[in-house]
Amino acid sequence: MRRNQGCNHLDHHLARRQFLAGAAGAMGLGLLGSPATAEKIKGQHKRVLQIYLQGGVSQLESWDPKPGTEHGGPFRAIPTSVPGMHISELLPYTAKQMHLLSIVRSINLKTNDHRQGRLFMEKGRRAGEYPYVGSIASKYLAPANSELPGYIHISTRGLTDSTSAFLGAQHGQLKFEGVKPPKNLAVPKGLDETADARRVQLREQFNQQFRVGRPKSLTESFDASFQQAAKLMGRKELFEKAPDPKDLERYGKHDFGRNCLLARALLENNATCVKVTHHGYDSHAENFNFHLEQLGEFDKTFAMLVDDLHQRGLLESTLVMVYSEFGRTPKINVRYGRDHWGTAWSIALGGCGIQPGAIIGTTNEKGTAVADREVDAGHLFHTYLQALGIDSTNDHDIAGRSIPIGDPTAQPIKELLS
Amino acid sequence: MSLRSIPYLVACLALFVALPATAFSVEIPLHQQIDLLIGVGKAKFEKTASAPSDDATFLRRVTLDLTGTIPTSNEVRAFLGEKSTDKRTQLIDRLLVSPEHARRMQYVFDTMLMERRPDKHVPAVEWRNYLRTSFLNNKPWDVLVREILSVDGTDKKTRPAVKFLLDRELKSELVTRDLGRLFLGRDLECAQCHDHPNVNDYLQRHYHGLNAFLNRTYLYKDPKTKKTSIGEKAEGLVSFTSVFTKEEGKTAPRMLDLPEIVDPADAKADYKVKPAKNVRSVPVYSRRLQLANAMTHPTNIAFRQNIANRLWAMMMGRGFVEPLDMWHADNPPSHPKLLDLLTNELQKNGYNMRLILRELALSKTYQRSSQISAESEIAKEINFGVGQLKPLSPEQLAWSMMQATGLTAKTLKSLKTKQIKADPKNGAKKIEEPLWQEEALHGALNKNVTAFITTFGFVGAQSSRFDASADQALFLRNGPLVQSWLVPAGDNLTARLKKLKTSSEIAEELYLSVFSRLPEKTEAENVVAYLNDNQKKSQQALQQLVWAALSSDEFRFNH
Amino acid sequence: MNVNQSDTSDALVAKKPVVDYEAIDLEKTHQVSEFKHKFPLTSCRADPTGKYVVAGAQDLDIQVWDLQTKSNRTLKGHTSWVRSFDFSKDGSRLYSACWGGDIKVWNMTDTQPKPIMTIQAHTGSARWVRISPDQKKLATCGNDLLIKVWNVEDGKLLQTFKGHERHVYAVDFHPDGHHLVSQDLMGFIKIWDMKTGKQARSIDASVMTGYDNKFAADMGGARDLQFSPDGSELASAGITKVVNSFAGVQDPIIMLFDWKTGKEKAQLKPEKTFQGIAWGVRYHPDGFLIGAGANRSGKGELWFRKPGEKEFFHTMKLSTAARGLDLLSDGRHLVIAHSDGAVRVYRMTAEAKRPTKTKT
């Protein structure tokens, strides 16, 4: 039986006062009311850039190389722009940006399952219906007048995630299939702009009659989704615009390069959380050739993106996360592969609220266990949110429930916060 | 969906709604008792309560709640024209015995019990069919739950019922939690590791007491058939330690605070089938088999309260206890006496859910308008004095759109023609059977429903709150599926509108078909004005007129 | 089979320079000796004089075993895994390429060889090294997408060939000494004219690559490359039919190309149930072809094909993955680098009927 693993429950805190407000909340007022826990961010709008290396990038081929050791693999370590910090030679461009980033090398998730690892990394909880980091960012950081949805996920293939839990569908991820804009963005065939405007106006006319003498909250939610849809349709050119050839040259002409260029454009246009998934790290066979290929794509593109955000003054307000669902086994299998490994692996963080150039935690000499400062996704979750100025020890205040934002049994990595 | 022939209805009614004599003997009918209790002790109740809904609103509301779709324009016309004073009662009785009602209940209970999880071991098709057949026969709730909790998945006939346990893979953090949430109205998850920190009534022994029913079970995969079923061992105890107080506890299976169900003294790890490799072990004494009995045992009042609360929420849009699975002393039911009434009634009538739904639908409370008059005050708390807006479920939305646009009628017509061709001898008779019609339509149009579920439904815990996202709006606004239903074809709505001569006739047919009511004068004028602006009755103008009505607030909610 | 042969079959090293073709019986190929290292091996090579076998492993060292005395020497100096070797004709020089990008030259006549020259050949892995037929040049390829030609004496860069757009997996000299051939991840085989310093032509080996839809990545490349002794044919070993490369689900393949026309002559594949990678290919002086590979579950196979045939006529199962293959100069023995850390020597004749003293 599992015990003592932190309470996973979303109804952990249920204060009586919430039930009085709950009546209204159930009608939906809670959705549009001002979030009790939202830190009203002054000045620049805070953002999140998530680069998700799907399948589980090998820590040994990226952030925690162990060259020349039993499980070290063929690649060597190279120095970075931070004195004393070495990363894998597969990341030469990123190495030059490490003064903007930090590494956590001591993650132990205690799971080797793709789904469990992914959900833990995104929700900060091992189980239960909780919102993803992106949905939380959308809820608490997105400006009221935002022209883009709060949480956009650019990915070339479909992993269907239910990301917003109790925060509501408008904070769920909007999926972009690569640089293809969301589905149904174009007005139906045969309708011109005038006719489209006319039918929307007509819909509004129908609504006015219905609203008389009825509480507004539900219909407002529904209409807000239409307004958001209209805004997306209005930004169609942002998604459809061909990237600048010079940018493409720097980022790479592959999907990941194009997706990251779109991510940059979205962040510059005040998107709140943009997640880009880079596929293909689940290398049970030919780990080294695949990491060469995949990190070869990732490295330059990511380095260019971080550099651009920095140059354009966005990095200060943008939390950058490079993460997976787990790492890969130190032991190399008979197919030159590495298998699933949640026991001792790494991620990189940077930007908004993160102390740059730091290395948190260590693994042992062979990389088979965490040696120092063990953390799990619960700690990381608090860290992301506190870096963004969201008090993760506070509660979500949703329709009669007070739900702790982060797992109450975990804490942020304080020394990583700037 | 057309109305059924009367003789058939009467027969069904006699069969399925055979009410226990006690329910109506000397007592005031249940629905009247509900109305008496709803405002008791609330000084301002009458001031804030709304008027009864008009016939058209009632027809739409109850058709949606009981059969999962809106009525056809012909049904609206017929109902408005009907003169008898008990026409609402007649309607309710008609709907409750329709195959569409069983389908609606299947949707509601499938969503409630499986929460749109992806399939694991038992195909959803079989499970849903099992649910629907159960509702067609008005299977009592306790019987249904006993089946769901006692089958082990080895018998092909009863296998669909094991989906609840098997698709949760017997994982205690899922099964134990959901037993508490879905059958007892109590989410005990926090009490897994310690007594609930904020909810005084949720104790660790409650969670582990439930857990103890299943702690000896395991998933067994038959090496030949590759089918998974439930195996059980004869040993294994549940003990727990609080992560806070380090207090230790032990428990045998138990329902909340009811006595522990101690293993019989002579049950010493004896097996009917002993555990071995590739063998599904069966103990002599099964803790798991105690679960179904303990759950549905008359002493387990939480089981009745939970279903009473859920049926109330289904009809009224909100439970007495809300969230539906957070029942405890600090979150008491808003109307305890009324809840007791329903709870007792369930016991008295043998968990006859159809009867409860009937009484709820008959109540004034259910039939109140969702619109308050200019003189009324808006109540500070929800007191059930005003009808709630209920967002249509993905299934309701899909079927209602297909009904409104005339796709349902058009499809049924062609299905009938096909059937007669395929079966010249009996086809003509067959196609008049309501069950055949419902099943044929479901088979033909289910793909569309799935598209709506993909966009509007979501996997995981249910939510009674309303959500709307941009991709949903884009689906409605520009998606090819809804657009395809707007193209005139056969007798569908746009085709019918096209044939009408005057704009005011168009307005009337539109309102009857989409909003299930007649337009008010200004509303008809608005439609006329729109059509005049848009080259009279150009096809595109008509299509978008229908679209605007379909995607409006009024259509999106059951009001 | 030849009766005389069985009496002499146990000598690992042929005393006579002339191969006794009569004795070979491929279907009776059997293991005759084994040399163990503690790390999984990545590659192997037998020296042309038949004295040594060398192997690279999942560590930084090169293992050298004396085939007769079975003594072991360890060559230290590389900074990464060694996955390609070549020997000078007389066996006195060993050239090794490592994934750190370095080429090292070793004097094998030393008792404890140290690198006598190190060429920092490539940025990123140096995947392949070959010496020219005239023994004057080395050709290498690397992850910088370049093919480079070096002066073997002083390590000076003589030529650079640029043109591959994806990682280059292998390079070799054509026996005419004037052409180089190289193959990349995407199955582009390029033929370079060393006189003009330009690409002369190309061969399509795109069968040997695949895009893994699920993981959105390419998989392919030559895992071994060899010309037939007369230079009329090129053999390339690798993979085809990528289904799920990340789990190793794809088929091994050995492709043969006509050198003059560049046309494909054969696609040789093992049985369908053997999914994995073909890691080695060798032309036997007698004309037949030998292949070796590994499957997903870590088993190996040896494949034999008679000249002109479309399929392997014989397959020998190996208990562990074969990751490298070479032929001994006697033409009777094969060496294989295995994933369990062993180099095993296999003899392509019938087993000796009675044990003899010289049996290894």
* A320-324, B331-335, C315-319: least confidently modelled range: B331-335
pLDDT at B204 exceeding the cut of 90: no
pLDDT average, residue stretch B105-111: 97
| C-beta of residue B87 within 8 angstroms of C-beta of residue B433 | no
Closest CA of chain C from A332, distance in Å: 9
- B466 and B451 housed in the same domain: yes
Token pair recorded at residue A273: 């959380």
Residue B323: is the preceding peptide bond cis (ω within 30°)? yes
What is the reported pLDDT for B207?
87
Token pair recorded at residue C223: 């895992």
3-state secondary structure at position C107: strand
What is the reported pLDDT for B196?
56
- B356 and B405 housed in the same domain: no
3-state secondary structure at position B144: helix
Tell me which of B265, B296, B327 is where a domain ends.
B296
pLDDT average, residue stretch B449-465: 75
- A-B contacts at Cβ under 8 angstroms: 218
Please, which residues bridge with residue C171 across strands? C182
Domain count, chain B: 3
Residues in chain B closer than 8 A to A190 (CB atoms) = 540
Residues in chain A closer than 8 A to C100 (CB atoms) = 74, 76
* A43-47, B192-196, C306-310: least confidently modelled range: B192-196
What is the reported pLDDT for A20?
31
This prediction has a pTM of: 0.75
Residues in chain A closer than 8 A to B473 (CB atoms) = 225-226, 228-229
Residue A153 lies in a domain: yes
H or E, element range at B238? strand B238-241
pLDDT average, residue stretch C312-336: 96
Looking at every residue in chain C, the average pLDDT score rounds to 91
The CATH number assigned to the domain with range C22-347 reads 2.130.10.10
Residue type, B554: E
Residues in chain A closer than 8 A to B526 (CB atoms) = 205
H or E, element range at B397? helix B394-405
Residue B119 lies in a domain: no
Question: Is residue C256 within 8 angstroms of chain A, CB to CB?
Answer: no
pLDDT at B131 exceeding the cut of 50: yes
- For residue B25, give every residue at least 6 positions away whose Cβ sits within 8 Å of its Cβ, in sequence order, or none: none
Measure the CA–CA gap between B94 and B12, rounded to whole angstroms.
9
Chosen for mutation from B171, B178, B193, B455 (greatest number of chain A CBs closer than 10 Å) is: B193
CB–CB contact C143 A292 (8 Å): yes
What is the reported pLDDT for B348?
95
| C-beta of residue A355 within 8 angstroms of C-beta of residue A416 | yes
Token pair recorded at residue A152: 């956009």
Residues in chain A closer than 8 A to B373 (CB atoms) = 213
CB–CB contact B187 A11 (8 Å): yes
What is the reported pLDDT for A397?
85
Residues in chain B closer than 8 A to A14 (CB atoms) = 198-199, 326, 330-331
pLDDT at C170 exceeding the cut of 90: yes
Residue B225 lies in a domain: yes
Q: Which chain A residue has its CA at the smallest distance from C320's CA?
A: A334
Residues in chain B closer than 8 A to A207 (CB atoms) = 552-554
Token pair recorded at residue A165: 């839990």
Question: Is residue A158 within 8 angstroms of chain B, CB to CB?
Answer: no
Measure the CA–CA gap between B102 and B437, rounded to whole angstroms.
13
Choose among A184, A213, A221: nearest Cβ to B479.
Answer: A184
Per the structure, the complete domain to which residue A405 belongs is given by 46-186+235-416
H or E, element range at C98? strand C93-98
Measure the CA–CA gap between B92 and C248, rounded to whole angstroms.
61
Number of H helices, E strands in chain B: 30, 8
Looking at every residue in chain A, the average pLDDT score rounds to 87
Measure the CA–CA gap between A319 and C160, rounded to whole angstroms.
43
Rounded percentage of chain C residues whose pLDDT exceeds 70: 92
Measure the CA–CA gap between A147 and A230, rounded to whole angstroms.
9
Q: Is beta strand A327-328 parallel, antiparallel or unpaired with respect to A77-79? A: unpaired
Measure the CA–CA gap between A346 and B539, rounded to whole angstroms.
60
pLDDT at A131 exceeding the cut of 80: yes
What pLDDT, in 10s, does the model give residues C11-37? 455 444 454 545 799 999 999 999 999
Residue A214 lies in a domain: no
pLDDT average, residue stretch A283-306: 96
Rounded percentage of chain C residues whose pLDDT exceeds 90: 84
Measure the CA–CA gap between B118 and B387, rounded to whole angstroms.
34
Question: Is residue C40 within 8 angstroms of chain A, CB to CB?
Answer: yes
- B354 and B397 housed in the same domain: no
- Residue that has been written with the tokens 């992106």 in this structure: A134
Measure the CA–CA gap between B403 and B71, rounded to whole angstroms.
7
Q: Do chains C and B touch (3 or more CB pairs under 8 A)?
A: no
Residues in chain A closer than 8 A to B329 (CB atoms) = none
Q: Can you state the angle between helices B87-96 and B99-114, rounded to 10 degrees?
A: 60
Measure the CA–CA gap between B121 and B101, rounded to whole angstroms.
27
Give me the CATH number covering residue A293: 3.40.720.10
How does B280-315 read in b/e, with b if 16+ C-beta sit within 10 Å? bbbbebbbbebbbebbbeeebbbbbbbbbbbbbbbb
Domain count, chain A: 1
Question: Is residue A335 within 8 angstroms of chain B, CB to CB?
Answer: no
For residue C161, which of C142, C180, C174, C148 has the smallest C-alpha distance? C148
Chosen for mutation from B177, B465, B486 (greatest number of chain A CBs closer than 10 Å) is: B465
Closest CA of chain B from A68, distance in Å: 43
Token pair recorded at residue B529: 């004005």
Residue B123 lies in a domain: no
Per the structure, the complete domain to which residue B72 belongs is given by 6-101+301-385
What is the reported pLDDT for C300?
97
What is each CA distance from C265 to B101, B340, C242, C250, in whole angstroms? 68, 85, 21, 21
Measure the CA–CA gap between C62 and C42, rounded to whole angstroms.
10
- Provide φ and ψ at A347, rounded to 5°: -135, 170
Q: Give the DSSP letter of residue B191.
A: G
CB–CB contact B330 A19 (8 Å): yes
What pLDDT, in 10s, does the model give residues A350-387? 999 999 999 999 999 999 999 999 999 999 999 999 99
- Residue that has been written with the tokens 């059930």 in this structure: B384
Give the pLDDT band of residue C243 (cuts 50, 70, 90): confident
- A-C contacts at Cβ under 8 angstroms: 89
3-state secondary structure at position C221: coil
Measure the CA–CA gap between C163 and A286, rounded to whole angstroms.
25
Choose among C213, C217, C248: nearest Cβ to A284.
Answer: C248
Tell me which of B385, B418, B433 is where a domain ends.
B385
Question: Is residue A214 within 8 angstroms of chain B, CB to CB?
Answer: yes
Question: Is residue B472 within 8 angstroms of chain A, CB to CB?
Answer: yes
Within 344-403 of A, beta carbons closer than 8 Å to B belong to 399-401
Q: Which chain A residue has its CA at the smallest distance from C249's CA?
A: A285
Tell me which of B340, B366, B385 is where a domain ends.
B385
- B159 and B174 housed in the same domain: yes
Q: Is beta strand C300-305 parallel, antiparallel or unpaired with respect to B271-273? A: unpaired
Token pair recorded at residue B362: 């008959």
Rounded percentage of chain B residues whose pLDDT exceeds 70: 88
| C-beta of residue B55 within 8 angstroms of C-beta of residue B80 | yes
What is the reported pLDDT for C353?
62
What pLDDT, in 10s, does the model give residues A142-196? 988 788 889 999 987 755 677 888 887 778 888 888 887 788 999 998 898 888 9
What is the reported pLDDT for A217?
79
What is the reported pLDDT for A387?
97
| C-beta of residue C302 within 8 angstroms of C-beta of residue C291 | yes
- Provide φ and ψ at A256, rounded to 5°: -65, -40
Token pair recorded at residue B16: 């399925």
For residue A298, which of A316, A323, A317 has the smallest C-alpha distance? A323
pLDDT at C234 exceeding the cut of 50: yes
Question: Is residue C77 within 8 angstroms of chain A, CB to CB?
Answer: no
Give the pLDDT band of residue B193 (cuts 50, 70, 90): low
What is the reported pLDDT for B536?
54
3-state secondary structure at position A338: coil
Chosen for mutation from C61, C80, C219 (greatest number of chain A CBs closer than 10 Å) is: C80
What pLDDT, in 10s, does the model give residues B47-75? 788 999 999 999 999 999 999 999 999 99
3-state secondary structure at position C244: strand
3-state secondary structure at position B253: coil
What is the reported pLDDT for B426?
93
What is the reported pLDDT for A289?
95
What is the reported pLDDT for B109?
97
Question: Is residue C58 within 8 angstroms of chain A, CB to CB?
Answer: yes
What is the reported pLDDT for B41?
76
- B374 and B286 housed in the same domain: no
- B31 and B167 housed in the same domain: no
Closest CA of chain A from B554, distance in Å: 6
Closest CA of chain B from A149, distance in Å: 8
Residues in chain A closer than 8 A to C185 (CB atoms) = 293
What is the reported pLDDT for B17?
44
Please, which residues bridge with residue C140 across strands? C129, C148
Neighbours of chain A (3+ CB pairs under 8 A): B, C
Looking at every residue in chain B, the average pLDDT score rounds to 88
Residue B416 lies in a domain: yes
Q: Which chain A residue has its CA at the smallest distance from B384's CA?
A: A23
> Across the beta sheet with C72-75, what order do the strands follow?
C41-46, C52-57, C62-66, C72-75
Question: Is residue A197 within 8 angstroms of chain B, CB to CB?
Answer: no
- B73 and B18 housed in the same domain: yes
| C-beta of residue B274 within 8 angstroms of C-beta of residue B233 | no
Do you know the residue count of chain C? Answer: 360
3-state secondary structure at position C321: coil
Give the pLDDT band of residue A3 (cuts 50, 70, 90): very low
Phi/psi region, residue A193 (left: phi>0; alpha: psi -120 to 50; beta: rest), is alpha
Give the pLDDT band of residue B3 (cuts 50, 70, 90): very low
Question: Is residue A246 within 8 angstroms of chain B, CB to CB?
Answer: no
Choose among A74, A279, A288: nearest Cβ to C216.
Answer: A279
Residue type, B115: E
Question: Is residue A270 within 8 angstroms of chain B, CB to CB?
Answer: no
Please, which residues bridge with residue A155 across strands? A177
* B18-27, B32-41, B327-336, C325-334: least confidently modelled range: B18-27
Domain ranges of chain C: 22-347
* A25-39, B141-155, B263-277, C159-173: least confidently modelled range: A25-39
Residue A29 lies in a domain: no
- B158 and B87 housed in the same domain: no
Do you know the residue count of chain A? Answer: 418
| C-beta of residue C282 within 8 angstroms of C-beta of residue C289 | yes
Residue B260 lies in a domain: yes
ipTM: 0.90
Measure the CA–CA gap between A169 and A147, rounded to whole angstroms.
17
Residue, of B330 and A67, whose pLDDT is higher: A67
